[in-house]
């Protein structure tokens, strides 16, 4: 017969095991690489050494049975090395007990003084981030959709774990540098909007109604998802994007169930089959922007 004393012993043992797991966060598993460049890699995360071979490639350094998200690819071709989620292109900047900060992908359009698109390889009207094969979501409490530029419209199309789609958008208007308010992101040179909870993958796109009267102080426009606490808008942001590209995105993470197979999982790709939908949506925003300017 299972006595109450034996049950109590089992319960104490169970809770001590849970407590040891919580206390261990911040430490890598014994024998596993603790850092990738300047980024600490705490358990349940682990550095992958075998590409997309899940935990077999990571040598058991990441937690078992929760998909690809906890495997970190340490790319040593950079100096110092950079950490990426799985085999994708989302760069990890830091990992805490409940959040991951990654480098933002920025939709960009730049024009020369004649109003022609600059063919410098930096223009990306639409960028896409995909976390669906991972246990992570884009934080709706920390992140905001930002659009920087005059006469610019930015849009986000996002999907949750079940494939339900959501959208967020904002429009930034200004006809002169004097219209821009330092430190304010309320629609004059900069706009922002919230995003829904539970977004697993999204595309952000940008439409810019450029004209030569603003190009002297606003040659480029940008749309991106980023940590709202890490960004303050200044008029100088209309001319340079160096600060914009340094603002992180925040991911929420938790240990959950594995929901996709190795054969179908593709982590953090910059390509997405929803781009045609995003383009159609952006065309609608362009017409809406023109109407507002008339």
**203 membership: H or E segment, kind and range:** strand 201-208
Q: Is residue 171 domain-resident?
A: yes
Q: Which of 185, 183, 119, 175 is nearest to 150 (CA)?
A: 175
User: What is the arithmetic mean of pLDDT over 279-291?
Assistant: 48
Q: Which residue has the higher pLDDT, 87 or 221?
A: 221
Residues 161 and 21 in one domain: no
Question: Token digits for 67?
Answer: 């998909």
The last residue of a domain, from among 37, 56, 87: 87
Two structure tokens written together for 89: 């292109």
Q: What is the pLDDT of the chain when averaged over all its residues? A: 76
Same domain, 66 and 184: no
- Total tally of structural domains belonging to the chain: 2
Q: What's the pLDDT tens digit per position in 88-113?
A: 789 999 999 889 999 999 998 888 88
Give the domain-ending residue among 43, 63, 87: 87
Specify the pLDDT at position 245: 79
Given a cut of 90, whether residue 154 has pLDDT beyond it is yes
Shared domain check, 21 and 165: no
The domain in which residue 21 lies consists of: 4-87
Whether residues 173 and 239 share a domain: the answer is: yes
pLDDT band at 11 (very low <50, low <70, confident <90, very high): very low
Contact 132, 271 (CB under 8 A): no
Give yes or no for a contact between 210 and 262, defined as CB atoms under 8 angstroms apart: no
- Which is more confidently placed, 128 or 51? 128
**Measured between alpha carbons, how far is residue 223 from residues 6, 73, 157, 170, 245 in Å?**
60, 27, 13, 10, 11
Q: Are 262 and 142 in contact (CB under 8 A)?
A: no
Instruction: Answer with the residue of higher pLDDT: 209 or 255.
Output: 209
Single residue among 87, 119, 154 that ends a domain in this structure: 87
Residues 73 and 192 placed together within one structural domain of the fold: no
For residue 32, the model assigns a pLDDT of 85
* pLDDT average, residue stretch 76-98: 90
> Do residue 159 and residue 206 come from a single domain?
yes
pLDDT (0 to 100) of residue 28: 75
Contact (CB, 8 A) for 73 and 49: no
Q: Which of 141, 187, 173 is nearest to 292 (CA)?
A: 173
**CB burial string 130-160: b at 16+ within 10 A, e below:** bbbbbbbbbbbebbbbbbbbbbbbbbbbbbb
Residues 81 and 104 in one domain: no
pLDDT tens for residues 186-219? 999 999 999 999 999 999 999 987 677 888 899 8
Q: Are residues 116 and 80 in the same domain?
A: no
């Amino acid at each position: 017969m299972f006595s109450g004393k034996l049950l109590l012993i089992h319960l104490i043992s169970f809770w001590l095991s849970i407590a040891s797991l919580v206390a261990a966060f911040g430490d890598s598993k014994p024998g596993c690489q603790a850092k990738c460049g300047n980024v600490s890699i705490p358990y349940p995360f682990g550095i992958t050494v075998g590409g997309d071979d899940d935990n077999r490639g990571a040598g058991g350094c990441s937690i078992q049975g929760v998909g690809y998200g906890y495997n970190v690819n340490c790319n040593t071709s950079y100096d110092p090395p950079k950490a990426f989620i799985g085999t994708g292109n989302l760069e990890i900047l830091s990992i805490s007990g409940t959040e991951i900060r990654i480098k933002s992908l920025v939709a960009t359009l730049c024009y020369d003084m004649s109003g022609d698109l600059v063919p410098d390889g930096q223009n990306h009207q639409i960028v896409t981030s995909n976390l669906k094969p991972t246990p992570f979501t884009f934080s709706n409490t920390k992140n905001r959709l930002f659009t920087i530029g005059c006469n610019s419209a930015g849009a986000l199309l996002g999907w949750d774990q079940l494939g339900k789609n959501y959208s967020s958008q904002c429009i930034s208007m200004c006809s002169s540098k004097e219209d821009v308010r330092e430190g304010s992101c309320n629609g004059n040179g900069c706009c922002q909007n919230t995003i829904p909870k539970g977004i697993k993958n999204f595309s952000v796109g940008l439409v810019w109604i450029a004209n030569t009267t603003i190009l002297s102080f606003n040659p480029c426009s940008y749309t991106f998802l980023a940590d709202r606490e890490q960004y303050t808008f200044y008029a100088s942001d209309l001319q340079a994007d160096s600060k914009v590209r340094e603002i992180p995105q925040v991911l929420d993470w938790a240990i959950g169930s594995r929901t996709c197979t190795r054969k179908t999982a593709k982590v953090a790709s910059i390509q997405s089959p929803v781009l045609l939908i995003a383009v159609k949506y952006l065309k609608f925003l362009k017409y809406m922007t023109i109407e507002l300017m008339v």
